[in-house]
Structure 1
Amino acid sequence: MLKEFAGLSTPLVADACVRLGVGLRAAPVGVRGVAEGSRAAGRVLPVRHYGSVDVFLEAYGTAREGDVLVIDNGGRTDEACIGDLAVLEARAAGVAGIVVWGLHRDTPELLDIGLPVFSYGALPLGPMRLDEREPEALLSARVGPHAVTVGDVVFADPDGVLFVPAGRVEEVLEAAGAIARTERAQAERIASGDTLRRQTAFDDYLERRAADPSYSFRQHLRRVGGAIEE
Structure 2
Amino acid sequence: MKLGYRIYPTKRYVSQEIVRAYSEIPTSIISDGMEKMFAMDSKIRPFHPKPMVAGHAITIHCPPGDNLVLQKAIELAEPGDVLVLNTGGDTSQAPVGEIVVSNCIRRGAVGLVIDGAIRDSDILPTLTIPVFAKGVTHRGCYKDGPGELNVPIACGGIIVRPGDLVVGDSDGVVIVPHEEAEGLLPKLINMVEKEGKLLEQIRNKTVDRSWVDQELLDKGYTF
Q: TM-score range by the shorter chain?
A: 0.7 to 0.9
Instruction: Verify: 1:143 aligned to 2:160, yes or no.
Output: no
1:46-81 Cα offsets, whole Å, 9 max, x none, are 112244443122112322320100011111121111
**Aligned match of 2:69:** 55
Aligned AA for 1:117? V
Instruction: Sort the Cα spacing of 1:104 and 1:188 in 2 relative to 1 into closer, same or farther, 3 A.
Output: same
Contact 1:16 1:173 in 2 (8 A): no
1:1-230 matched pairs, under 5 angstroms: 3-18=20-35, 24-50=37-63, 51-127=65-141, 132-134=145-147, 136-198=148-210, 201-203=211-213, 205=215, 209=218
Q: CA deviation at 1:105?
A: 0.5
Contact 2:151 2:161 in 1 (8 A): yes
Q: CA deviation at 1:179?
A: 0.6
Aligned counterparts of 2:67 and 2:143: Cα–Cα separation in 1: 10
1:105-129 Cα offsets, whole Å, 9 max, x none, are 11222122221100012211112x5
Structure possessing the higher radius of gyration over alpha carbons? 1
Aligned AA for 1:100? I
Query: Larger helix proportion, structure 1 or 2?
Result: 1
Contact 2:164 2:178 in 1 (8 A): yes
Aligned AA for 1:94? G
Aligned counterparts of 1:157 and 1:123: Cα–Cα separation in 2: 23
1:184-217 Cα offsets, whole Å, 9 max, x none, are 101111111113404xx4455556x26xx6xxxx
1:135-186 Cα offsets, whole Å, 9 max, x none, are x444233213333121411111111111111111122232111111111101
Aligned counterparts of 1:206 and 1:48: Cα–Cα separation in 2: 47
Q: CA deviation at 1:132?
A: 4.8
Q: Which runs of 5+ in 2 are unaligned?
A: 1-15
Task: Give the superposed CA RMSD.
Answer: 2.2
Aligned counterparts of 2:212 and 2:32: Cα–Cα separation in 1: 21
Instruction: Sort the Cα spacing of 1:196 and 1:36 in 2 relative to 1 into closer, same or farther, 3 A.
Output: farther
Aligned counterparts of 1:151 and 1:81: Cα–Cα separation in 2: 22
Taking structure 2 as the reference length, the TM-score comes to 0.81
Find the residue that maps to 2:38 and give its secondary structure: coil
Contact 1:47 1:71 in 2 (8 A): yes
**Aligned match of 1:217:** none
Taking structure 1 as the reference length, the TM-score comes to 0.78
Aligned counterparts of 1:166 and 1:114: Cα–Cα separation in 2: 26
Q: CA deviation at 1:39?
A: 1.2
Find the residue that maps to 1:114 and give its secondary structure: coil
Aligned residue-pair number? 202
